[in-house]
Amino acid sequence: MSDGTIATTDFHFPGQEAVYHGKVRDVYTLDDNRLVSVATDRISAFDVILPRPIPYKGAVLNQLAAHFLKATEDVVPNWLMSVPDPNVSIGHKAEPFKIEMVIRGVLVGYSWRAYQAGKRELCGVSMPDGLEEYDAFPEPIITPSTKADEGHDMDISAEEIVAQGLATQEKWDQLCDYARQLFARGQAMAMEQGLVLADTKYEFGLLDGQIILIDEVHTPDSSRYFYKDSYEAYVGGDKAKHPEHLSKEFVREWLLANNFSGQDGQTVPEMTDDWVQQISERYITLYERVSGKQFNRAPAGEDVIKRIETNVLNALKEET
């Protein structure tokens, strides 16, 4: 697009067999079982793609995911092979589990809305009585959902996952173990940066019979962060101000405040230039705070699509 954002892509790479346009990523499948994943600037909330792309969002997601994939490869092997462009990752194609492994350390967001409505069980997992919003669970809980190609992901229990053949009991147990280890690593890394990782989700696949981590990890699209000081002050008794988010949650809150929650018949509120810019700056701030690295913005007027194509083609030549 003229403003440098990437709303969609239409590449034709050597050996390309298929392309999948997800909510945020465009994933190109090559015949040697590699994937070229392009992080666009699309933004989704409540499983709906919002009408305006967010400058630099794709580059933030891709680079942050790569940062955490490299930082957790000792916990579980992952799909990543190379990052030839700020918006692109190239990696192994795996057979994905049709499950999103959602793990929650704090009662907030969707889990709080369910709890507030009187539910004490989520995806077959019990939640104790007497909790307040932002309280930490005694132990992180895993509340999986089915991975929808389109539309809304659906909650599912561990028993249903095994009964429906989405994973064997043995594989499910391993997925849970990996999810807990990854979450513990993510929480420790966040704490080092003065942040609290409240919840996140992971996706896994099978490569040559081995479970590997796929997709993104610990990014603002898949995770919820709080500034540690504001979170500890709130749960410590200072209820004057809610903990300060450093995640996509502020976009969901804005949508809810404007009577949009992804339901049929609802209209996405207008996204002004100023609001789009605010979202962009929040993503960049999150990248720098979470990773401890400076974010490098693309030069004004750069042809991002051409840059991506050139970098990917060069990388594919080098890797073959």
Tens digits of residue pLDDT in 31-47: 989 999 999 999 999 98
Return the higher-pLDDT residue of 131 and 150.
Answer: 131
DSSP tag of 305:
H
| pLDDT, average across residues 168-185 | 98
Q: How many CB atoms lie within 10 A of CB 125?
A: 16
- CA 2, distance to chain mean position in Å, is 27
Number of folded domains in the chain?
Answer: 2
Residue 256 lies in a domain: no
Interatomic CA distance for residues 158 and 117, integer angstroms: 23
Report whether pLDDT(286) > 70: yes
Backbone angles phi, psi at 224, to 5 degrees: -125, 120
Reported as type and span, the H/E element at residue 181 is helix 169-192
The reply to whether 5 falls in a domain is: no
pLDDT at 147: 77
Rounded Cα distance, 202 and 167, in Å: 15
Residues 110 and 63 in one domain: no
pLDDT at 121 over 80: yes
Residues 313 and 172 in one domain: no
**The pLDDT of residue 47:** 85
Identify whether 265 is part of a domain: no
Position 9 confidence tier, pLDDT thresholds 50, 70, 90: very high
Kindly tell me the sign of the dihedral angle through the C-alpha atoms of 303, 305, 306, 307: positive
Q: Is residue 275 over pLDDT 80?
A: yes
Residue 9 in any domain: the answer is no
Regarding whether 195 and 212 lie in a shared domain, the answer is yes
Predicted pLDDT at 50: 96
Cα distance between residue 43 and residue 45, in whole Å: 7
Q: Which of 80, 272, 67, 97 is nearest to 189 (CA)?
A: 67
Helices (H) and strands (E) in the chain, counts: 8, 17
According to the model, what pLDDT value does residue 2 have? 47
Extended beta strands in the chain, E state? 16-21, 25-30, 34-39, 44-45, 48-49, 80-85, 88-92, 95-96, 99-106, 121-122, 125-126, 136-142, 145-146, 154-155, 195-207, 210-214, 223-227
* CA atoms of 106 and 111, how far apart (whole Å): 9
- Better-scored residue on pLDDT, 2 or 141: 141
Let me know if residue 218 belongs to a domain. Answer: yes
Give a yes or no: residue 4 inside a domain.
Answer: no
Same domain, 146 and 190: yes
Assess if residue 300 is contained within a domain: yes
Radius of gyration, alpha carbons of the chain: 19
Domain span at residue 146 reads 96-250
> CA 49 from chain center: how many Å?
14
Which of the four pLDDT bands, split at 50, 70 and 90, describes residue 151? low
If asked whether residues 155 and 185 sit together in one domain, one would say: yes
pLDDT in the model for residue 32: 83
pLDDT at 1: 43
Is 112 found in the same domain as 207?
Answer: yes
Share of the chain above pLDDT 70, in %: 97
Quote the pLDDT of residue 245.
86
What is the domain-level CATH number for residue 237? Answer: 3.30.470.20
Confidence bin at 149 (pLDDT 50/70/90): low
CB 49 within 8 A of CB 40: no
- Rounded (10°) CA dihedral 149, 52, 263, 198: 70
Which region holds residue 137: left if phi is over 0, alpha if psi is between -120 and 50, else beta? beta
Does pLDDT of 150 surpass 80? no
Is there a contact between 195 and 289 (Cβ–Cβ < 8 Å)? yes
State which H helix or E strand residue 62 sits in: helix 57-71
Same-domain check for residues 83 and 54: yes
Residues 150 and 231 in one domain: yes
User: If you average pLDDT over residues 140-147, what whole number do you get?
Assistant: 95
Region 106-110 average pLDDT: 94
Residue 68: per-residue pLDDT: 97
115 and 65: one domain?
no
Domain match, 214 and 275 both: no
Average pLDDT of the chain to the nearest whole number = 94
Per-residue model confidence as pLDDT tens digits over 290-306: 999 999 998 888 999 99
Domain assignment of residue 257, yes or no: no
